[in-house]
Structure 1
Amino acid sequence: MASWGVPAVGGDRATAIAPTRSALLGLLGAALGITTDNAEKLEALQQSVSFGVKQCVPSSILRDYHTAQVPSEKRGVTHLTRKSELSEAKLNTVLSSRDYRCDGVWVVAVWLRANPQVALSAIKAALEKPVFPLYLGRKSCPLSLPLSPKTIETETLQQALDTDFPPVVSEQSDKYWFGANGFVTYFWEGNATEFDDELTQSYQPWDEPVHRGRWQFKKRTMHQLTLREAK
């Protein structure tokens, strides 16, 4: 399962259909061992990398009616564990509906921007042996399998995203069990004509982190293209 955060209203917590920039930054940060209070290193990582995503199968949606106990008063205390949080004298129950993407398969391309403060070799090594546990959007969504990072050189982003990876069981079984529908969708930032296709659509997600402590994000421009999967 995965949950890619989008703007939330009330008690509903929806999910995007593909990994968001903020979720991917969090995943890389955890792999590299950057703690959430290290604003300098988090910003350096954020300014160093760009992402492209290929959705190989559409995944299915699952909604969870969620209840959670939290301290009734916020006293500027940071709880490092759930046990510590529940030790507060007064607790309150929060109700919400939370959406998850199930059985999704995504290929993610990471490339460096100008003047990067992190190396691709360091990112690859961290994804192979992460410092902190990795999860897909929420801590309740750990990886089903280890990641399979590769360092490659290609002429286009599509070539990078179309890189072959070993199947989980077999190519035929994976497509059956994961529910592949014969189409793939690409999501990328940067040049709208990267794929040179008139069917490219642009949109503006709120997934560029601004302030980690206040959970503030700003809009950015993304592009999307769905194509029939090559045989």
Structure 2
Amino acid sequence: MPTLLLRLQGPMQSWGTRSRFDHRDTWPYPTKSGVVGLLAAALGRDREQDVSDLAALRMGVRVDYQTAQSVLTADLKGKGNVQSWRYYLADAAFLVGLEGERALLETLHGALRNPRFPLYLGRKSYVPSPPPYLPDGLVEAPLAEALEGYS
């Protein structure tokens, strides 16, 4: 099944899931509801319109992580690699993949190139830079393979 890849990158991002009133949380990576909203905006759908076709897409996110090599201990001897998880939503960049029917993905690919409404990375003041559209983003590969193989 084909996969549509998009780049979500910008100075600020916020992907809330449990926000209440004046407290706005964020996940360390894009949420499916946030990506569905971005796609609906690209298509020009109003808030009242059905998005079940978009919600039915299978989604994955490639998240980068850092390792530190040859960490020195107090006795100045090195240790092996240490994995370090660091979540920053300032200057974050994600590769999102959506797997589904080719016709819908082709429509979404075109909409991301020429979006009908402004696109945001979770909040109105968080605009993508560069745009989410990837010219080579529609690939004939399963979701996991597409995310792993894109460079």
Q: TM-score, normalised by structure 1?
A: 0.47
Give the match for residue 126 of structure 1: 111
Give the match for residue 108 of structure 1: 96
For the Cα contact (< 8 Å) 1:59–1:103, is it kept in 2?
no
For the Cα contact (< 8 Å) 1:59–1:102, is it kept in 2?
no
Matched, 1:50 2:58: yes
* Aligned-pair Cα RMSD in Å: 2.1
Counterpart Cα distance in 1 of 2:99 and 2:133: 16
**Larger Rg, first or second structure (1 or 2):** 1
Q: Deviation above 6 Å: which 4+ runs of structure 1?
A: none
Counterpart Cα distance in 2 of 1:130 and 1:21: 19
For the Cα contact (< 8 Å) 2:105–2:138, is it kept in 1?
yes
For the Cα contact (< 8 Å) 2:16–2:25, is it kept in 1?
yes
Give the match for residue 90 of structure 1: none
SS at match of 2:119: coil
Residue 120 to residue 5, structure 1, CA distance change in 2 (3 Å): same
* Aligned residue among 122, 127, 143 for 1:157: 143
Residue 153 to residue 44, structure 1, CA distance change in 2 (3 Å): closer
| Structure 2 counterpart of 1:122, one-letter code | T
Matched, 1:33 2:21: no
**How much has 1:129 moved relative to structure 2?**
1.1
| Structure 2 counterpart of 1:152, one-letter code | V
Counterpart Cα distance in 1 of 2:21 and 2:55: 29
Give the match for residue 127 of structure 2: 142
Q: Indicate the percent of aligned positions where both proteins have the same amino acid.
A: 34
Higher relative contact order (CA 8 A, sep 6+): 2
Unaligned 5+ residue runs, structure 1?
A: 61-100, 166-231
Counterpart Cα distance in 1 of 2:59 and 2:92: 18
Counterpart Cα distance in 1 of 2:94 and 2:115: 19
Q: Which has the higher strand share?
A: 1
Q: TM-score, normalised by structure 2?
A: 0.69
After TM superposition, the structure 1 = structure 2 runs for residues 78-117 of structure 1, keeping only pairs within 5 Å, are: 101-112=89-100
Counterpart Cα distance in 1 of 2:21 and 2:129: 30
Matched, 1:23 2:34: yes
Counterpart Cα distance in 2 of 1:36 and 1:10: 20
Unaligned 5+ residue runs, structure 2?
A: 1-11, 66-85
How many residues align? The count is 118
Residue 43 to residue 120, structure 1, CA distance change in 2 (3 Å): same
| Structure 2 counterpart of 1:7, one-letter code | R
For the Cα contact (< 8 Å) 2:62–2:96, is it kept in 1?
yes
Counterpart Cα distance in 2 of 1:128 and 1:107: 16
